[in-house]
Chains A and B, each alone.
Chain A
Amino acid sequence: MRDAHKNFGQTCALAGANIELHDREWLGLLGPNGAGKTTLVRAMSGRVRLDRGVITLMGLQSDATSAGADGRTGLGTVPQEIALYPLLTAAENLRAFGSLQGLARRELHDRVAWALSWTGLSERSNEPIGRFSGGMKRRLNIACSVLHRPRVILLDEPTVGVDPQSRHRIWEMLRELRKDGASLLLTTHQLDEAQDVCDRIVIIDHGKTIAAGTLSELLHETIGAERQVTLSLDRPVPELLCQRGFSRKGGNVAQRQVTDLATELPIMLAEVKKTGAAVNDIRIETPTLQTVFLHLTGRELRE
């Protein structure tokens, strides 16, 4: 997606967003509330017509005048809400959406059987899903969007509101899809999960792409190589250490930022030893995706 612009009345949803999803890649799309993530995903799935910009899906290009890319048949969209028919059974839901996605009878039968097994719902395939737990519904919600073997899967908060066990299962399912050759675009607020599973991260804010790359690239571009070293001493932090660039964090805790850990850490320990104090514990804090995210988007509330 290049130079995507979209306004809803006076509200600017996209203001030149760019996003690139590579073959078999797992791309995390992050942004504060109202940043334009959902509009971007909906534009890719053809549900929002861009005012300006180009979407190219699997080599097929569409411009702002057409509703989404022409390669939509190879696309699977997993909505954030449980968009299923509650009075239908798991198998009936799968058959319904598989049929709408254009699967023929035999293929549909095979894919429904695969999906039930994939989601671990085979034994409850004939129960109305109204009786299912949140995690079971989530898994089925994903399965209904991938029956037609899409090459690109858009996932909008796929693990929201589920317990750790279900979340783990969902990630396992998604890894299987990736193994089968699918590319995944994932929007989430679970930054730790995005950091763990995504190959690359795109951060958007105010409708624009503000950063894109691997976690280490993002760290390098934003925070750089700086790390925070925290030392717990056996006594109050001596004044001499404060004069050497340490800061006091509580009575016995001293902190200092370093850019070259391998060189600076031995020097720091030697300086402590000179004061006669002993080090009880060392903690080196590596910046996380959350650090990058807050660094780029700020800490103020978005409402």
Chain B
Amino acid sequence: MIATLLKINWLNLRRDYVALGLTFVLPIVFFSIFAFIFGGMGGSSTESSAIEVIVVDRDQTDISARLIRALDHQAALHIITHPKPTQNDSSPTPYTREQARTLVRKGKYPAAVVFPDGFARTFGDFGGGGKPVEIIHDPSNPIVVPTISGLLQAAAITAAPDVLMEKGMEKFDAAGGALTPTQRALVQTFKPILRGLTVAGEKKTLAADGQTASSSPMLSGLVNVKPVDAGKSDDDENTKPRSLVAYYAAGISVMFLLFSMASGAGGSLLEEQERGTLERVLATNIGMKTLLLGHWLFFSFMGIAQIILMFVWAAVVFNLDLWSPRHLLGFVAMTVATACAASAFGIVLATICKSRTQLGGVSTIVILIMSALGGSMIPRFIMPAFMNTTALFTFNGWALDGYLKVFWYENTNTPLIQAMIYILPQLGVLAAMTVVFLGTARLLAKRWETA
């Protein structure tokens, strides 16, 4: 008896390709995606996951230059000091602090390191009185400040040990009494040796010890660090801090919107087909185009309502700043575009699938993969560069980028119209997706039309 039941189950599974895909293919695809994401962070392919950081040297001294060079040799960092040369500008000027800040705020780079004017004068003050190096950062990325801070400490000790020794001896002089002339001569002898050794072995030392140095509490105070939120204005201390809730509200909303639309817009069409009402409706004066548009419109409204509910909840319970005119306008534009595209996506899935069971399996596979790649599940900033590019081929990637531009990478000083122009690429792509999805659905829906 048991053998018969096993055989029946096996035959059913073997002939259900969607179930086979969900059981055996989806886990492997997901494992591969996550392996690429996390393997790329700390595995052998560290090159691909190096953090791109803008460095602004306002000090323009030998010390600051040595630290920047040391940072540049860090495998975990990719230092950028100026825009890429173009045909018109073969030697572009280095970034200023404000330019760097704008780029970080817009999400182009996760952080910028600014060596302040006068940095070298106070460098090596073991009492913690050194002029702080600013790390302008995007708070959506919680790992970037501690990482850069640690690497700065490592860079300080390996790039300028001679200076540190000298400053240390001065402290020693002040606290423990003056050195004898012999001792002082010995210190002066060691300084160039230390410096020479460092220059020769800089890359090796830093690459090998960067992680250790950053994690050592003994070294954490060599370079004072001042984290600066890229989205917060310098001259307005009352600027409302940005809430990370926006980031997650967008990610979760978009993923669940896709699931709702697949089962709603897609499921309803297939349900009509299975129930026979589709045949009956098509036998009236209604054409296929009108039928599809009716379904698309209804589920677009549903999607809009769903996203509004999610963000209002986030605003009421988690203090998301939704009500400012800038946020509200951007939110409305993005929500309409996202819901319309998601509804069209559900309809195209329905026209591809032959039954609701098939739709359930196919939509689960497609949506989970798009959500993983597009950033709904894992923030994209921790993904390797090539996976970030892959996200541009997903619905989630564009929808999330748009919401993040509205709530996260905004510039409160720009006019409202400019803020809207800022999200035009995302709105445009989502609108194009809507047109393509609906066009494809119309073509595939021919199977429901006259035989």
Residues of A near any B CB (own CB < 8 A) = 8, 42, 45-49, 67-68, 72-73, 77, 79, 81-86, 97, 100-102, 144-145
B285 touching A47, Cβ below 8 Å = no
Known: A82-B276, A83-B275. A100 touches B286 (CB 8 A): yes
Question: Which residue of B275, B282, B286 is within 8 Å of A47 (Cβ)?
Answer: B282
Task: Give me 11 other A-B pairs in contact (C-beta within 8 A), A47-B450, A85-B277 excluded.
Answer: A48-B451, A68-B450, A73-B285, A77-B280, A81-B276, A82-B276, A83-B276, A83-B277, A83-B279, A84-B275, A97-B284
| CB-CB under 8 A for A8 and B276, given A100-B281, A102-B285 | no
Q: Compute how far the CA of A77 lies from the CA of B282 in the bound complex, rounded to whole angstroms.
A: 11
18 contacts between A and B (CB under 8 A): A45-B283, A46-B283, A46-B450, A47-B279, A47-B282, A47-B283, A47-B450, A47-B451, A48-B450, A48-B451, A49-B450, A67-B450, A77-B280, A83-B276, A83-B277, A83-B279, A102-B284, A144-B280
Chain A residue, CB-CB nearest to B277: A83
Residues of the A chain whose Cβ atoms lie less than 8 Å from the Cβ of B449: 67
Q: Which residue of B lies closest to A73 (CB)?
A: B285
Partner of A84, one of B277, B283, B286, B450: B277
Alpha-carbon distance between A84 and B284 when the two chains are bound, in angstroms: 14
Q: List residues of chain A with CB within 8 A of the CB of B450.
A: 46-49, 67-68
Q: How many residues of B contact A (CB 8 A)?
A: 14
Q: Which B residue sits closest to A98, measured CB to CB?
A: B284
The interface residues of chain A lying within 8 Å CB-to-CB of B284 are 97, 100-102
A57 vs chain B, min Cβ distance (A): 13
Contact partner, A79, options B280, B285, B286, Cβ 8 Å: B280
In the assembled complex, which residues on chain A have CB atoms less than 8 Å from the CB atom of B286?
A: 100
A84 contact set on B, CB distance < 8 A: 275, 277
- Kindly state the separation between the CA atoms of A84 and B280 in the bound complex, as whole angstroms: 9
Asked whether B451 lies within 8 Å of A101 as measured between CB atoms, the reply is no
| Set A8, A100, A102: member contacting B451, Cβ < 8 A | A8
What sequence of 0s and 1s flags, for each residue 277-315 of chain B, a beta carbon within 8 Å of any chain A beta carbon? Answer: 101111111100000000000000000000000000000
| 3 closest cross-chain pairs (CB), A and B | A83-B276, A67-B450, A81-B276
The answer to whether A42 touches B280 (Cβ under 8 A) is: no
Within 8 Å by CB of B279, from A49, A79, A101, A102, lies: A79
Alpha-carbon separation in the docked complex, A67 to B277 (Å): 19
Q: In the complex, what residues of B have CB within 8 A of residue A100's CB?
A: 281, 284-286
Do residues A97 and B451 form an inter-chain contact, with CB atoms below 8 A? no
In the complex, chain B residues 6-64 whose Cβ is within 8 Å of any chain A Cβ: none
Most buried by A among B275, B283, B286: B283
- In the assembly, what is the distance between CA of A83 and CA of B271, in Å? 11
Contacts of B276 in A (CB 8 A): 79, 81-83
Q: Which residues of B contact A73 (CB under 8 A)?
A: 285
Q: Chain B contacts of A97 at CB under 8 A?
A: 280, 284
Across-interface contacts of B275 in A (CB, < 8 A): 81, 83-86
* A83 contact set on B, CB distance < 8 A: 275-277, 279-280
Give the docked Cα–Cα distance between A81 and B279 (Å): 11
Measured CA separation A82–B450 after assembly (Å): 21
Identify the closest chain A residue to B281 (Cβ).
A100
Closest to B284 in A: A100
CB distance from A73 to the nearest CB of B (A): 7
| B282 and chain A: residue at smallest CB distance | A47
Q: Which residue of A lies closest to B278 (CB)?
A: A83
Looking at B275, B277, B286, the one whose CB has the most chain A CB atoms below 10 A away is B277
Q: Chain B contacts of A79 at CB under 8 A?
A: 276, 279-280
